[in-house]
Amino acid sequence: MATEADAATELNLRREKSDLHHAHVEGGEDEVEENPQSVAVTQSAAPKKKKKKSKSKGQKGLGKPTGFEEYYVDVPVTPEEYNEEQDLYNESRTFSERIEMAIQRYKAKRNFDSERKELFDKYMSYGGIDTGPKMFSGGLDANMLANKTAAEIATMTATNFVGADKDSEGGSNASRLPQMFDVTTEKQIKSYTSIIRNFLNYLLHHDVCPEYKDQINAARSTCDLAEKELWACKQASLWLPGDFNTACSTIFGGYYANMYIGDQDWAKDLDIYKGMSTETATRIFKAGLAAQTTDEVINAFTTKSKENNLAVVSAVATGLEVTDLIKADDAVLEMYAAQKPSLKPLGRMKAKTWYNPTLPEEDMTEEEVAAAATLLEIKEYELWVEDEILDMCFVGMKFDATVRELNFGILYFDTIIGVHCSFYSLLPNETIIGWREPGPRLPPREKNVDGGVGGTGEEDGGDLDGDDEL
């Protein structure tokens, strides 16, 4: 019996050391035969326990609906919710109260990431709505909220509110998106505009402010327009002023003159804009002149050229609004295809003067202001631009540009500073974003006889003890 017990103990020890789960015992105390193949097969077949990966706090909630999906719609309002909202959004409440509560409830039903939150808060600021805790409201605890109604709780916990110094005039910041956020891709633009549209849909769905229904629908239409125009502006800003206008600028001493570095050995392998050579610029300019100009301009150009007197007669920094886009006709296309196949066909852009409302006002005297008021005339312009760029433009598009005129009647873009949507404007609330009513100023402190400053205007008494001598 002792021998059998010792053999069993030794066998268990040997099994633990080798970590083999299946061994066959043939004989007595010292004879143990193991089958390596059967052990390997058994080990590989044995299921391995997988450790459960715990999600970090930052990953919790990922994958859940955000409320900003393309085809997301709010669920129908229940009878209980309807009765509650009849009190929350009752027209007896001021617009400020209703919009504050609507924003609070809207944010609770949407999953905001940091980018969406930043855009939404900036959109609120354009409507005169501040973001942050209400000042001097004190802390909130369960006891304070226990006997409050839904409307009272929404008001007390709101983080977006209309300041006492704001009125109800608002607007959309869609035209400012390129200045505030990255709009490298069309997908980003659609994402940004969908956030604003999503909020406007919520206001309509819950009937928050029926008196502004027409304005909300107009704002939604602006969101639809912004999706198309913002991407078009982005593309046009990358391609303008185009080959013909760059050629003019290169030849006639404009912004692009003396910029060509393509003939430099050190620049040949660099992936940067190398400018336009004078030879290429001359070829593009003469092809465009032959394609689009009139006999009158051709004669003037020929005369000035023989006199060696081709020059710029005016240069003006101005805003422009596109009024018409005229692509190259069949005759122009045939000319380019037959004679200049490597060049891009040239069309025409008509525009009128536009005054950018966001530019700072010039510091002028009263006489200068009166004189400038008489000069605010609307001029008409016709500029030549490649067809492929005209495809990116639209009637109503606005530019900040420098336009030069040549002494034989041709206008050209020397630089394009900014490209804007048709609805680009300045909102009144935009001028006072972040502004606060200044607090009371302390009275000026008076100087003492010895030049020191005292709080009461009296001479300092020396050291803090009043003892001047040790």
Using CB atoms within 10 Å of the CB of residue 420, give its burial: 0 to 12 exposed, 13 to 18 middle, 19+ buried: buried
Helix segments in 89-149, DSSP class H? 95-108, 114-126, 142-145
The residue-averaged pLDDT of 389-414 equals: 94
Average pLDDT over every residue of 139-166: 59
pLDDT of residue 425: 80
Measuring CA to CA, which residue among 320, 381, 323 is closest to residue 353? 320
Residue 462 has pLDDT above 50, yes or no: no
The pLDDT tens digits of the residues spanning 43-80 come to 545 555 555 555 555 555 556 667 777 667 677 878 88
pLDDT value at position 28?
44
Task: Work out the burial of residue 156: count CB atoms within 10 Å of its CB; fewer than 13 is exposed, 13-18 middle, 19 or more buried.
Answer: middle
Q: What percent of the chain has pLDDT over 90?
A: 30
The pLDDT-based confidence of 170 (bands split at 50, 70, 90) is very low
Q: How confident is the model at residue 414 (pLDDT cuts 50, 70, 90)?
A: very high
The mean pLDDT value for 86-100 works out to 87
Does residue 237 register a pLDDT over 80? yes
Residue 355, classed as helix, strand or coil, is coil
For residue 450, pLDDT beyond 80: no
> Distance of CA 157 to CAs 39, 129, 140, 154, 371, Å?
66, 15, 8, 5, 54
pLDDT of residue 7: 56
Q: What is the average per-residue pLDDT within 161-190?
A: 64
Average pLDDT for 81-85:
85
Residue 404: per-residue pLDDT: 95
More confident: 382 or 427: 382
**Regarding predicted confidence, which is higher, 87 or 469?**
87
- Please determine, for residue 329, whether its predicted confidence score (pLDDT) is greater than 80: yes
DSSP reduced 3-state for 413: strand
What pLDDT band is residue 145 in, cutting at 50, 70 and 90?
low
According to the model, what pLDDT value does residue 432 have?
63
Compare 241 and 356 and report the one with higher pLDDT: 241
Q: What is the pLDDT of residue 453?
A: 54
Residue 294 predicted with pLDDT over 80: yes
Contacts 24+ apart (CB under 8 A), 368-372: none
| pLDDT score of 60 | 55
Task: Note the pLDDT of residue 338.
Answer: 87
pLDDT of residue 322: 96
pLDDT digits (tens, 9 = 90+) for 184-218: 788 888 888 888 899 999 999 999 999 999 999 99
Q: What is the mean pLDDT of residues 399-403?
A: 94
**From 91-105, 126-140, 225-239, 258-272, the region with the lowest mean pLDDT:** 126-140
Predicted TM-score (pTM) above 0.75 = no
- Please tell me the predicted confidence (pLDDT) of residue 342: 84
Question: What pLDDT does 117 receive?
Answer: 86
pLDDT at residue 397 above 90?
yes
- Average pLDDT score over residue span 244-250: 95
pLDDT at 372 over 90: no
Distance of CA 15 to the CA centre of its chain: 67
Q: What are phi and psi of 321, to 5 degrees?
A: -120, 125
In whole numbers, what is the pLDDT of the chain averaged over residues? 77
pLDDT confidence bin for 469, thresholds 50/70/90: very low
Q: Name residue 447's beta-bridge partners.
A: 453
Length of the chain: 470
Give the pLDDT band (50/70/90) at residue 398. Answer: very high
Least confident of 197-211, 244-258, 360-374, 398-412: 360-374
Distances (CA, A) of 330 to 36, 296, 344, 346, 384: 85, 22, 14, 12, 16
Contact 232, 392 (CB under 8 A): yes
| Strands lying side by side in the sheet with 380-386 | 380-386, 346-354, 312-326, 398-406, 411-420
pLDDT > 70? residue 19? no
Q: Is the pLDDT of residue 280 over 60?
A: yes
Of residues 297, 351, 363, 295, the one with CA closest to residue 325:
351
pLDDT-derived band at 458 (thresholds 50, 70, 90) equals: very low
Q: Is the pLDDT of residue 26 over 50?
A: no
Q: Which residue has the tokens 């003939």?
A: 263
Is the pLDDT at 388 greater than 90, yes or no? yes
| Top-confidence residue, 342 or 428 | 342
Which parts of 89-212 fold into alpha helices (H)? Answer: 95-108, 114-126, 142-145, 150-157, 177-180, 186-205
Please report which confidence band the pLDDT of residue 10 belongs to, taking 50, 70 and 90 as the band edges: low
pLDDT band at 412 (very low <50, low <70, confident <90, very high): very high
| Cα separation, 447 vs 129, whole angstroms | 44
Please give the pLDDT value at position 46.
53
